[in-house]
Structure 1
Amino acid sequence: MTYIWILLVVIILLLGFLIYLNIKDGSQSIDSKESLRDLDKAVERQEATLFDLTKDIQSFQDPLNKLNRYLSGGTLAGKFGEWSLEAIIQDIFHPNQFIANAEVIPGSGKRVEFAIKLPEGLLLPIDAKFPSGLFDNYLLAVDAKDQQLVKKSKDDIKRHVQGDAKDINIKYMQSGITIELGVMYIPSESLMQLIDSIANLREEIFRDHRVLIMGPNSLAAYLISVHMGFRTLALNERAGEIMQEFGRLKKEFLNFGGSTEDLQKRADAMLKAVNEHATRERQMEKAIKNMDRLDS
């Protein structure tokens, strides 16, 4: 009988343990479901964040694409070059020292973007050129590692730059109005490096057309040296004026020295006259005293 009770107790304990396990598994299942729901929500939030980030990247990419299209267009890219050139010139020169959109050759109708007024009365024409489309083709060829296409792109740029230099020489340079020199401004240091890498291109253009090719850095340095010429000339002119004033001062000083000497001579003569008058006065006093003694 005791064994039966012990067996019943064991069975009851086993049933209780099994019920406990079932209840625990149920709660773990509920927890697992809740965890899965939380995970799904977190994934949805991350997806939303990634979607927003993709939109932000796209919104950032659009202006870059527009800028790339803008700079790849011939006329619009030229505007970019003009703005860059204008900023450099205005930063160095006073407005009365240059002419914007200048008709260098009267009656020609051809206007250079800027002409610097040089001290000798002649003009220095500067025109901005930016073959950005050809430069883009070169960059694409380099990325594709197509050597034949790279060579073709460089040849296209060379021909374009030579043509621009010829135009500057014909349209904006004339003896007696401009100096025997023009400047082609390239508003990209990367493109300038490419032009410099083309053998003898800059030397040929200067020899054949008397045109200097300059990027932002070299043009700024060159124009600063030109501006220093303005200041040196102004200083020389001021030095001449100072010497003229000094000459006038020297003349006045000599005149003043002469008048002082004349005044001193007059003062000496007056002093001599006073001395003579005093001597005569003493002699007259002596004669009067002698007459008084004779009367007594």
Structure 2
Amino acid sequence: MLTLIILVIVIVVLLVQFLLFSKIGGQKNNEALNEIKLLLNQWLITVKDIEKNLKEEFVINRKENAEASAALRTETNLQLNNFAQTITLQLTQLSNANEEKLNAIRVTLENSFNNFQQRIDANGQAGITALQQNLALFQTNLNEALKEYKNRMLEQFALFENNIQNQHAGNTEKMRELKQALETSVKNLQEGNEKKLEEMRKTVDEKLNDTLEKRLGESFKLVSDRLEAVHKGLGEMQTLATSVGDLKKVMTNVKQRGVLGEYQLQNIIEDLLTTEQYERNVKTKSGSGALVEFAIKMPHGRNFEKIVWLPIDSKFPKEDYEALTDAYEKGDAEKIEESRKSFINAIKRSAKEIKEKYIDPPNTTEYGIMFLPFESLFGEVLRVPGLFELLQKEYKITITGPTTLSALLNSLQMGFRTLAIEKRSSEVWDLLGAVKTDFKQFGDVLAKTKKKLIEATDVIDKSEVRTRAIERKLRNVEALPANQANAILDTPALNDTDKNDSVEDNAE
């Protein structure tokens, strides 16, 4: 690099000398100038070739270094990789620096050449010969300098290659030592693991024995608890069997069976109606001592004071229903038909009994209600074609189950509410009439108040006119302070009056 700088300085000196002697020339000066330009162009081409060769050598060296670095990187891992990257970066920086300096030299030569060209017309022929000699000397020196620079670069690359080989040898030795250390560590680790595994095996065996004994004890305890629970369940099953037997006795006994249906009917009525809307054990038919289980209070038309009873009685033809169910299970068509006839006759007898004992218009409604305590029993009645309509037409009896009775009582409850509204509607109309009368009187009072307010407004307007007239008359009179004015007039201050008024308003 120093040689190139010296070479540039020599070229500049030669050009200066050429300019100094170029004043003498004329046409010859132009020919010499052309020769100089030709020589300079040749030198520039030579410099570019040298630069190109250097770049190619740099590229080749970079490729070789990259390949060597890649090979070393696979062997030396992270350290050699970082080292190769550092060397590559330095070579790149060196190449960039050389390119920048060559560009600077080229720019300097061009600037000097332009300056020389401006002064060539003033120089003579005397310096042409000396300049040619100097240029020849310069070319010789330049070739020697470039050759020396090339030799230095080759020496540096050789030194760099030796360093890389030495580094590779050192890394190989370190890798060998590292491998031996790793083998030793792995061997020690295996021995330690074998000892720890033996200790863990002993510990696991001890814990397994303890856990097995504990689990066996818990399992035996659990089995004992389960056996005790089974014995307890057997006792509960015996109690349940006793309860089922008692229930069977209840279902077998006609009186107790009727109590069961009555109890279910009572629960439904109490859930849906108030105590004022029904009665229990009511004598609904005159001349008969029979008491119906429940009777609902119904209004007599528009007369809300008179009550009409709606009798409801529960029936449960258990024997006939069970016989029909058994016939269904056996699939005996003849037995089914016979049992169905017995069941229909039992239902008709119950409907006839309710009609004769409890229905007595106009003390009661024209129809009564037979309550069947089970939906299956009610469904069997509906299964018989025409039986439901026959009971309504001939005996004035409506058959209901738990669901249909609940729906019927809900509809009656809505009817009771509608009747209550109709009963209170007359009171509402009377109240509205009284409100209308009072509202008319209130309108009269508002009209009188409006008239008085208008009169007061007129008086205030007249007072304001008088006040403005007095103010115009007193405009030239000097006003006294408020305290002196209050003392002379012996009147309280307006602010005090306002405060007293606000206090009185708050008290009110």
Normalised TM-score (structure 1): 0.69
SS in 1 for 2:294: strand
Per the alignment, residue 388 of structure 2 pairs with 202
| TM-aligned CA deviation for residue 78 of structure 1 | 0.8
Matched, 1:177 2:357: no
Say whether the 8 Å CA contact 1:192–1:215 is kept in structure 2: yes
Change (3 A) 1:48 1:88: closer
Per the alignment, residue 118 of structure 1 pairs with 298
Say whether the 8 Å CA contact 2:370–2:398 is kept in structure 1: yes
| TM-aligned CA deviation for residue 209 of structure 1 | 1.1
| TM-aligned CA deviation for residue 143 of structure 1 | 2.6
Matched, 1:238 2:424: yes
Give the alignment of 1:11-22 within 5 angstroms. none
Say whether the 8 Å CA contact 1:72–1:136 is kept in structure 2: no
Matched, 1:78 2:266: no
Per the alignment, residue 132 of structure 1 pairs with 318
Per the alignment, residue 227 of structure 1 pairs with 413
| TM-aligned CA deviation for residue 142 of structure 1 | 2.3
Distance in structure 2 (CA, Å) of the matches to 1:247 and 1:53? 74
Per the alignment, residue 189 of structure 1 pairs with 375
Alignment-mate amino acid for residue 227 of structure 1 = Q
Give the alignment of 1:217-296 within 5 angstroms. 217-261=403-447
| TM-aligned CA deviation for residue 148 of structure 1 | 1.8
Larger of the two Rg values belongs to structure = 2
Per the alignment, residue 151 of structure 1 pairs with 337
| TM-aligned CA deviation for residue 47 of structure 1 | 11
**CA deviation map 1:99-137 (0-9, x unaligned):** 100000234111111100013321111010011122122
Matched, 1:90 2:270: yes
Alignment-mate amino acid for residue 99 of structure 1 = E
Change (3 A) 1:145 1:188: same
Unpaired runs of at least 5, structure 2: 1-225, 301-306, 460-508
Change (3 A) 1:83 1:70: same
Distance in structure 2 (CA, Å) of the matches to 1:256 and 1:59? 79
Number of residue-to-residue matches in the alignment: 229
Change (3 A) 1:97 1:201: same
Change (3 A) 1:59 1:259: closer
Change (3 A) 1:195 1:93: same
| TM-aligned CA deviation for residue 187 of structure 1 | 0.3
Alignment-mate amino acid for residue 278 of structure 2 = F
**CA deviation map 1:242-295 (0-9, x unaligned):** 2321111001111232355467678989999x9xxxxxxxxxxxxxxxxxxxxx
| TM-aligned CA deviation for residue 84 of structure 1 | 0.5
Change (3 A) 1:153 1:264: same
Say whether the 8 Å CA contact 2:285–2:358 is kept in structure 1: yes
SS in 1 for 2:256: helix
Distance in structure 1 (CA, Å) of the matches to 2:232 and 2:445? 96
SS in 2 for 1:108: coil
SS in 1 for 2:389: helix
Distance in structure 1 (CA, Å) of the matches to 2:359 and 2:328? 37
Q: Pairwise CA RMSD of aligned residues?
A: 3.1
Distance in structure 1 (CA, Å) of the matches to 2:230 and 2:423? 70
Higher relative contact order (CA 8 A, sep 6+): 1
| TM-aligned CA deviation for residue 60 of structure 1 | 2.4
| TM-aligned CA deviation for residue 240 of structure 1 | 3.4
Unpaired runs of at least 5, structure 1: 1-45, 275-296
Alignment-mate amino acid for residue 65 of structure 1 = G
Alignment-mate amino acid for residue 180 of structure 1 = E
Matched, 1:67 2:247: yes
Fraction of identical pairs, as percent: 30
Per the alignment, residue 288 of structure 2 pairs with 108
**CA deviation map 1:177-225 (0-9, x unaligned):** 1111110000011111111111111110101011100000000100110
**CA deviation map 1:134-186 (0-9, x unaligned):** 21222222233322222211111100111111111111111111111110000
Change (3 A) 1:96 1:51: closer
Give the alignment of 1:18-33 within 5 angstroms. none
| TM-aligned CA deviation for residue 53 of structure 1 | 6.5
**CA deviation map 1:59-101 (0-9, x unaligned):** 4223213212311322211111100101111111111110100
